[in-house]
Chains A and B, each alone.
Chain A
Amino acid sequence: MLLFIEQVLNGLQLGFMLFLLSAGLTLVFGVMNLINLAHGSFYMVGAYVAATVMQASDSFVLALLVALFTAGLCGFLVEVIVLRHLYKRDHLDQVLATFGLILFFNEGTRMIWGRQPLFMQVPELLSGSVEILPGIPYPVYRLVIIAIGLAVAIGLYLLINHTRLGMRIRAGASNRSMIAALGVNIRWLYSLVFALGALLAGFAGVMAAPVFAVESGMGESILILTFVVIVIGGIGSVKGALLGALLVGLVDTLGRAFLPDLLQMFISSGANSIAASLSSMGIYLLMAVILAFKPRGLFPA
């Protein structure tokens, strides 16, 4: 039981991290109708910059700020230089171009930081653990990730539903030529939304840096998960992204934690390797089942 609570918390933590990534991706897709394979690159940039600044200055806050700024700036530049030309194009062209961006960013980080993965210390203030329930110590840092994810979710909800900018974003998603005709500078709106998405991805990268190794290509493995999330949730829906992220986080974590023991009860030999692959497959099974019944995801936008 204690283990179960701990694993649920781990699942939530992965879920909220995925949410930070998928919120930006789903917005970009919903508003600009753009498939961005390079979204994971901003996550990677965030992680690398944070780890480097942290090593140099020992200040987590500074690392966080610089990383967020860099990721947002990268997003802005990528939008202005490359993606702006592709909104009216076929999805396939976007896939090819953003695949090119992935190669560029991955090799770029390898040129700057080398092939060795970086490691980042958890900031001292957050490095301890607390007893969430009597007898269950849990790392503070992971709780902070959950809290930040919640805060971002609430912040995004307020931004999208209760501000003028959010109103424009929603309008841009439903009819872009109409709001352009109404005098909204749609180019800047797009750049802004894209930079915001990149910034959130960078945020996820900073959060992930102390938990995972910071290495070139770290963006892709999580990008696939992120795509699974937004497809399950329904593309373009931030609410769907939140639900999908938590679902994927929980299924993945709980599957990995409990499937091996569960299978061991039924089959004796080879249970471990089967369970390992089954739990890795878990989220894809989840996605296939959901898409088989709801081909447009849980909350079609």
Chain B
Amino acid sequence: MIVLILLPFVAEAVDESYVISSMTRIMIFAMAAVSLDLIVGYGAMVSFGHAAFVGLGAYVAAILSFHINDGSAVFNFPFSFDGSNNLFLILIVAIFVAAIVAALTGLISLRTHGIHFIMITLAFAQMLYYLFISLDTYGGEDGLLMPGRNQVPFIDTADDFTFYYLCLLILVVYIFLSRRLVNSQFGRVIRGCKLNEKRMQSLGFNTYWYRLTAYIIAATGAAVAGVLLANKTEFVDPGLFSWHLSGELLVMVILGGLGSIYGAVIGAFVYLLLEQVLSAYTEHWMFFLGPFLILVVIYARHGIYGVLQNKVLSND
């Protein structure tokens, strides 16, 4: 935490400002990973389409600022909406859109379990992927360039330094809220569903609605990450919906350790840092990352966070 706060100053001092940019990216992915951990780690709902919500958030940011730049309305019915460049408004719209999409797809997906749930979430994400490829107004397959970062009153988001702290702040708040959520009564019901759904039902909980709510909450978190990601790169393309990104998010969560929030953060940092470090040494970094992941699975049972926790426990 302290490292993250001080890092930009160090980076600035040694004149390696790309570090700020790449750390911002990692923090945004960490947030998406945390939101995925909420359903995978706590609710045993393994979504293989989580990137779809990241993509939705990103496209909301890009489309709204595209229209404000263009001067045209996003839609005219039932009321006229001209788009926006205000980050807060965009976040709200993104959360709203992601929640609606998650509610619709969740209603169907949550009827299934296990591998079928994995596949049906993948199917919905693929549908969105092809939908956005077909939207010619918004760049289709080539993606959409944003006119600039969305604005926040009183601060200059175009500055990488400031944007870094904005992302850090949002990440910390999000982790805090997520911890509160999983430790609340709601979180206990969700965790109960993971262990034994029948038992929760006989205790009188309507588990379907609880799981659906959790699914929607996770989707909104991913959408916020999507908005930030679009703002960071100032570019969106349908690749954000791809199953490859969904897979990578899952890998981050599993790598770090399921069901611990911090694990997802660690997973995102380790995975993306490894990617960067290895790719600096060799073009064929995936050739080495692959076996590393396999070794982690075979030897580190509960992910990296699990190993760290065991170390701490055995030291006591």
**Which of A91, A100, A105, A297 contacts B46, CB < 8 Å?**
A91
Asked whether A287 lies within 8 Å of B123 as measured between CB atoms, the reply is: yes
Enumerate B233-273 residues with CB–CB distance to A below 8 Å: 243-244, 247, 250-251, 254-255, 258
Enumerate A114-156 residues with CB–CB distance to B below 8 Å: none
Give the CA-CA distance A110 to B283 in the complex, in Å: 10
Contact of B134 with A by CB under 8 A: yes
Asked whether A111 lies within 8 Å of B284 as measured between CB atoms, the reply is: yes
Contacts of B116 in A (CB 8 A): 231, 235, 291, 295-297
Instruction: State how many angstroms separate the Cβ of B284 from the closest Cβ of chain A.
Output: 5
Asked whether A107 lies within 8 Å of B286 as measured between CB atoms, the reply is: yes
Give the CA-CA distance A31 to B130 in the complex, in Å: 34
Give the CA-CA distance A292 to B123 in the complex, in Å: 12
Which residue of the partner chain A has the closest CB to B136? A273
B-side interface size class: 35 or more
Known: A85-B298, A97-B297, A280-B130. A91 touches B286 (CB 8 A): no
Known: A92-B258, A231-B119, A292-B108. A103 touches B114 (CB 8 A): no
Contact of B112 with A by CB under 8 A: yes
Query: A-facing mask of B133-159, CB < 8 A → 1, else 0?
Result: 110100010000000000000000000
Contacts of B100 in A (CB 8 A): none
Instruction: State how many angstroms separate the Cβ of A280 from the closest Cβ of chain B.
Output: 4
Give the CA-CA distance A287 to B124 in the complex, in Å: 10
Selected interface stretch from B69-77, B79-87, B211-219, B288-296: B288-296
**Which of B46, B255, B290 contacts A107, CB < 8 Å?**
B290
Enumerate A185-234 residues with CB–CB distance to B below 8 Å: 220, 224, 227-228, 231
Contacts of A37 in B (CB 8 A): 247
Contact of A4 with B by CB under 8 A: no
Chain A at the B interface: mostly helix, strand, loop or mixed?
Answer: helix
**Which of B120, B140, B297 contacts A96, CB < 8 Å?**
B297
Asked whether A100 lies within 8 Å of B112 as measured between CB atoms, the reply is: no
**Which of A95, A104, A228 contacts B290, CB < 8 Å?**
A104
Contacts of A97 in B (CB 8 A): 293-294, 297-298
Asked whether B243 lies within 8 Å of A224 as measured between CB atoms, the reply is: yes
Give the CA-CA distance A269 to B113 in the complex, in Å: 41
Asked whether B286 lies within 8 Å of A235 as measured between CB atoms, the reply is: no
Instruction: State how many angstroms separate the Cβ of B254 from the closest Cβ of chain A.
Output: 4
A-side interface size class: 35 or more
Give the CA-CA distance A278 to B250 in the complex, in Å: 28
Contact of B58 with A by CB under 8 A: no
Contact of B21 with A by CB under 8 A: no
Asked whether B123 lies within 8 Å of A284 as measured between CB atoms, the reply is: yes
Give the CA-CA distance A228 to B121 in the complex, in Å: 11
Contacts of B113 in A (CB 8 A): 295
Enumerate B53-105 residues with CB–CB distance to A below 8 Å: none
Give the CA-CA distance A152 to B255 in the complex, in Å: 39
Most chain A beta carbons < 10 A, residue from B119, B140, B250, B296: B119
Enumerate A71-113 residues with CB–CB distance to B below 8 Å: 82, 85-86, 89, 91-93, 95-97, 99-108, 110-111
Give the CA-CA distance A110 to B285 in the complex, in Å: 11
Give the CA-CA distance A93 to B112 in the complex, in Å: 21
Most chain A beta carbons < 10 A, residue from B115, B247, B289: B115
Asked whether B290 lies within 8 Å of A100 as measured between CB atoms, the reply is: yes
Contacts of A281 in B (CB 8 A): 126-127, 130-131
Contact of B122 with A by CB under 8 A: yes
**Which of B46, B119, B284, B290 contacts A101, CB < 8 Å?**
B290
Instruction: State how many angstroms separate the Cβ of A49 from the closest Cβ of chain B.
Output: 18
Known: A295-B111, A297-B116. A99 touches B122 (CB 8 A): no
**Which of A105, A278, A288, A297 contacts B108, CB < 8 Å?**
A288
Which residue of the partner chain A has the closest CB to B247? A99
Contacts of B244 in A (CB 8 A): 220
Contact of B287 with A by CB under 8 A: yes
Enumerate B31-47 residues with CB–CB distance to A below 8 Å: 40, 46
Asked whether B291 lies within 8 Å of A91 as measured between CB atoms, the reply is: no
Contacts of B293 in A (CB 8 A): 96-97, 99-100, 103
**Which of B46, B140, B291 contacts A92, CB < 8 Å?**
B46
Please name 20 further chain A to chain B contacts, defined as beta carbons within 8 Å, in addition to the given A96-B254, A231-B116, sorted by A numbering. Answer: A29-B115, A35-B118, A85-B298, A91-B46, A95-B254, A96-B250, A100-B293, A104-B286, A104-B290, A104-B291, A110-B284, A231-B120, A277-B134, A291-B112, A291-B116, A291-B123, A292-B108, A295-B111, A295-B113, A295-B116
Which 10 interchain pairs have the tightest Cβ spacing? A277-B134, A104-B290, A100-B293, A103-B290, A107-B287, A107-B286, A284-B123, A103-B286, A280-B130, A100-B290
Name A residues whose Cβ lies closer than 8 Å to a Cβ of B. 29, 35, 37, 82, 85-86, 89, 91-93, 95-97, 99-108, 110-111, 220, 224, 227-228, 231, 235, 270, 273-274, 276-278, 280-281, 284-285, 287-288, 291-292, 295-297
* A-B contacts, 20 listed (Cβ < 8 Å): A82-B294, A92-B258, A96-B297, A97-B294, A99-B247, A99-B250, A100-B289, A100-B294, A103-B290, A103-B293, A104-B291, A107-B284, A220-B244, A231-B115, A235-B115, A273-B134, A281-B130, A288-B124, A292-B111, A296-B116
